[in-house]
């Protein structure tokens, strides 16, 4: 179930966030929801995640059928040719 949320944010921040969302093909609501979800995950040990990784968490959307192992193998095969 989704619920409406009203936020008070600097206008310049909203403009930049909307532009970012547009360039990444997502909605501002989706960005904020993903960010809040990341903040509130109980299973995440904050000491195990670098600050750089925390900053980009949720940015990349992979297809449902993405095979990480196959992609990694392909990367190393091309790298070492």
* DSSP per-residue letters across 1-59: ----------HHHHHHHHHHHHHHT--HHHHHHHHHHHHH-TT--GGGS-HHHHHHTT-
State the pLDDT at residue 68: 87
pLDDT digits (tens, 9 = 90+) for 10-67: 999 999 999 999 998 999 999 999 888 888 876 656 567 777 777 777 777 788 898 8
Q: Which residue has the tokens 């959307």?
A: 61
Rounded to two decimals, the pTM is 0.50
């Amino acid at each position: 179930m989704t619920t409406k949320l009203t936020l008070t944010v600097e206008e310049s921040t909203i403009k930049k966030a909307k532009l970012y969302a547009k360039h990444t093909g997502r909605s501002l609501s989706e960005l904020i929801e993903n960010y809040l979800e990341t903040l509130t995950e109980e299973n995440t040990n904050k000491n195990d995640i670098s600050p750089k990784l925390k900053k980009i968490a949720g940015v990349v959307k992979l297809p449902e059928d993405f095979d990480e192992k196959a992609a990694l193998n392909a990367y190393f095969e091309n790298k070492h040719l």
